[in-house]
Amino acid sequence: MAALTSSRNTPEKGDDGRMRTYGVEANTNVYLGGIVALDANGYAVPASATTTTANALKIIGRAESMVDGMPGENAINNPGAAGAISVEARKGVFLYDQDNSITIAQLGAVCFAIDDHTVTANDRASGASVQQYAAAGQVIEITPSGQVWVDFWHQTAAAA
């Protein structure tokens, strides 16, 4: 397509795109406040290492609430069929633990989810080709205690 040559009315999504609802994978527990991802089937799961690129997770934000659940109720779909319950995930900037690999040199860089509450500067486990981590978001700040503020708005793909 050709570049614009005049103004364009570009609609904005009314809910500002921060919150999305996703069905929870079968036999899965998503805990509120944790990093939530979509699996290869498109269902919400806690962030974790995967073993193949085909199984790669897509980080979608922080688990915010179970849809139609009690306030503060985790999305426990165990046992349960895929999509039997849903969880809301929120984009934004959130504070998570790290594995001590993130330093000031990583400010503005992509970090990766090891699990549902820990991020790392690396896209796979040290020396391992099978433990792959999903791109979580951009490192915004490191606290004096070493925790990391992660911006889930600025998620980008891992470098090859």
Give a yes or no: residue 2 inside a domain. Answer: no
Same domain for 27 and 86, yes or no, is yes
The residue among 52 and 90 whose pLDDT is bigger is 90
Amino acid occupying residue 52: T
Give a yes or no: residue 159 inside a domain. Answer: no
Q: What is the pLDDT of residue 136?
A: 92
Given pLDDT bands bounded at 50, 70 and 90, which one contains residue 159? very low
Task: Give the total number of structural domains in the chain.
Answer: 2
Amino acid occupying residue 16: D
Give a yes or no: residue 80 inside a domain. Answer: yes
Closest to 46 measured CA to CA, from 64, 66, 31, 65 = 31
Q: Which domain holds residue 137?
A: 93-154
pLDDT tens-place string over residues 49-65: 876 665 678 999 999 98
Give a yes or no: residue 99 inside a domain. Answer: yes
Same domain for 120 and 67, yes or no, is no
Same domain for 131 and 143, yes or no, is yes
Same domain for 42 and 55, yes or no, is yes
pLDDT tens-place string over residues 99-144: 999 999 999 999 999 999 999 998 876 665 667 888 999 999 999 9
Same domain for 82 and 114, yes or no, is no
Which H/E stretch holds residue 89?
Answer: strand 86-90
Of 74, 90, 106, the position where a domain reaches its end is 90
- pLDDT above 70: residue 67: yes
Give a yes or no: residue 9 inside a domain. Answer: no
Same domain for 24 and 50, yes or no, is yes
Given pLDDT bands bounded at 50, 70 and 90, which one contains residue 158? very low
* Mean pLDDT for the stretch of residues 67-90: 87
CA distances from 84 to 30, 57, 67 (A): 13, 20, 11
